[in-house]
């Protein structure tokens, strides 16, 4: 290792650090890459390995500043670009988890919570189911390759020596964040509609047969109907995640504009 460091020039080391600083946020906020199921040491090794593959290409022809203050500014800029791109991907899976949380509330599962193995936080039952399904689909469709390819393209949009347009970066991030609730409703819509129809049906029954204990019958019925439609809607969720992942990578690149 010391021999490799001796052979490397100061500019190569600075360029390597800048690329690593842009890639590292992916392993802090992006789905699967930031999973708590993956040990921190493994994530660091993966980040360094990606940097070793990308750095020789993206640093070619770039003159990274070697003075301390300009170098720190470049590192901060790289971290900001990496966070913006990683956040645009994380929003997609936040919407999937939010859809599960909405359904948990309507079906009564929100009273119980379990430890989410992906994030290490407490989560409700369907929230974890939808999160795990989303990650499984992400792996099956090769989403990790799409994300890495998108991350590589960020160096074409914002080179190491380039500066992102801060206004566009903030506006794009806010716009992506504002889509979480709407996207969650899109994912949960089939089950939501079924539960609303079930509630309306039991409302009519309670009027017709007031002696019936509607709460004793309606609560397990809603759970049964909800679980049936959750199972039926999972193929739709898979197609939705595949389509939205491509859009999320595109949105992440569109938020980056050269100043």
CA separation, residue 20 to residues 41, 46, 86, 258 (Å): 15, 11, 14, 20
The pLDDT value given to residue 16: 84
Cβ atoms of 82 and 23 within 8 Å: the answer is yes
Domain residue spans of the chain: 2-254
Residue-wise pLDDT for 147-166, tens only, equals 888 888 888 888 887 777 77
Q: Are strands 114-115 and 122-123 parallel, antiparallel or unpaired?
A: antiparallel
- Please return the burial class of 91, using the count of CB atoms within 10 Å of its CB with bins 0-12, 13-18 and 19+: buried
Residue-wise pLDDT for 12-35, tens only, equals 788 888 888 888 888 888 777 777
Give the global pTM.
0.77
CA separation, residue 177 to residues 25, 42, 94, 116, 237 (Å): 17, 29, 10, 22, 20
The pLDDT value given to residue 116: 52
Residue 114 phi/psi, 5-degree rounding, is: -130, 165
The pLDDT value given to residue 120: 54
The pLDDT value given to residue 3: 56
Cα–Cα distance for residue pair 93/10, rounded to 1 Å: 39
Cβ atoms of 51 and 19 within 8 Å: the answer is yes
The pLDDT value given to residue 114: 55
**Residues in the chain, pLDDT under 50:** 7
The pLDDT value given to residue 7: 46
Residues forming a β-bridge with 258: 164
């Amino acid at each position: 290792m010391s021999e490799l460091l001796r052979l490397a020039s100061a500019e190569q080391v600075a360029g390597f650090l800048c690329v690593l600083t842009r890639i590292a946020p992916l392993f802090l906020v992006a789905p699967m890459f930031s999973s708590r199921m993956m040990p921190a040491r493994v994530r660091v090794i993966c980040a360094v390995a990606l940097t070793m593959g990308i750095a020789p290409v993206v640093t070619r022809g770039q003159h990274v500043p070697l003075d301390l203050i300009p170098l720190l500014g470049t590192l901060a800029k790289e971290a900001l670009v990496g966070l913006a791109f990683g956040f645009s991907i994380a929003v997609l899976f936040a919407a999937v988890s939010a859809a599960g949380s909405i359904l948990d509330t309507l079906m009564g599962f929100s009273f119980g919570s379990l430890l989410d193995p992906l994030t290490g936080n407490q989560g409700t039952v369907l929230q974890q189911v939808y999160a795990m399904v989303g990650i499984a689909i992400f792996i099956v469709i090769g989403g990790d390759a799409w994300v890495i390819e998108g991350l590589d393209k960020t160096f074409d949009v914002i080179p190491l020596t380039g500066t992102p347009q801060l206004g566009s970066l903030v506006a794009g991030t806010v716009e992506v964040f504002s889509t979480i609730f709407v996207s969650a409703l899109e994912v949960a819509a089939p089950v939501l509609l079924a539960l609303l129809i079930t509630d309306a049906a039991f409302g009519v029954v309670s009027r017709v047969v007031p002696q019936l204990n509607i709460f004793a019958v309606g609560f397990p019925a809603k759970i049964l109907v909800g679980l049936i439609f959750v199972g039926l809607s999972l193929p739709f969720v898979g197609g939705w995640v595949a389509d939205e992942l491509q859009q999320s990578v595109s949105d992440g690149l569109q938020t980056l504009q050269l100043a």
